[in-house]
Amino acid sequence: MLLKSRSKKEMNGKKRRFYLRRKIFLILLGMLMILARAESLRAEVKPQFGLDYFAGTNQLQIFSPWAGLRLSLSYRASFIVRYHYQNFSYDYKIYDGGGSLVSKTFKAKVNRLTGTLYLGGEKLSGYVNYSHLYGTHQYRGYLVDSGLELRFIKPVSALVSLYGIREKTVLWRPQEEARWRNTYSLKTGVKIWMIKSLALNPNIYLIKNSEGQRATAFSVGLVYSPNWWLAITGYYFRYNETAFYIFYGNYMSLGLNFFF
């Protein structure tokens, strides 16, 4: 019986690896087809790259460099391919065998392949994005998000975006077994250009997952863009949740990004 159990686990593991490789292959194939199409249209291809850093409660740190290509499909449309590397670490508490509460550090690495269709106009712009995620601790995930930005008067824009992710992971709950969870988020905000190169950006987030847990968050930040291809960002976040309190608290993020 033990041999049969091991054999079944090995077969399931091989199937999971096969399907993961197939999905990655299909994503890369789709990106190559878009590249080929862009080349046939003599589209402009430009690099993009950057670095984001996120930190806060329980010594949480997320270090995330990224790089990609922007393919100009028309005057107003672009397709963007990106690869993100995310290095996570944070502290959490767990009871040991003697009943004492001890602190441990959880570390993980997540890779993210992203394809984004961006449409830009004078007053209205938007995007649709799909991401495939995989990483340590058998992390797997799929992410879809979309957003709109409407500039109704010259210095002020309204922002709205929808976000959904399906992931199987112990990333946020290392003391539990990995299982599939869905998380959904609605973000609304405004961007106010105080001077030509500096904008204030407050946002509100409403979050819910497939296990009935709810959360809200608020952020306010500054976006400094002295050139069209450069964005330097700094944000403060306040995160509140109703069930899993380990991440309840204050956070900050910094970003240095180049969008050619």
- What is the per-residue pLDDT for 219? 98
Q: Do 50 and 20 contact (CB within 8 A), yes or no? A: no
CATH code reported for the domain at 45-259 = 2.40.160.40
Q: Do 150 and 225 contact (CB within 8 A), yes or no? A: no
- What is the per-residue pLDDT for 4? 47
- What is the per-residue pLDDT for 206? 96
- What is the per-residue pLDDT for 3? 45
- What is the per-residue pLDDT for 15? 58
CA 116 from chain centre, in angstroms, equals: 12
- What is the per-residue pLDDT for 33? 58
Query: Cα–Cα distance between 70 and 67 in angstroms, integer?
Result: 10
Rounded to two decimals, the pTM is: 0.81
What's the pLDDT tens digit per position in 142-194?
A: 999 999 999 988 899 999 999 999 999 888 888 888 889 999 999 999 999 99
Residues of the chain with pLDDT under 50: 2-6
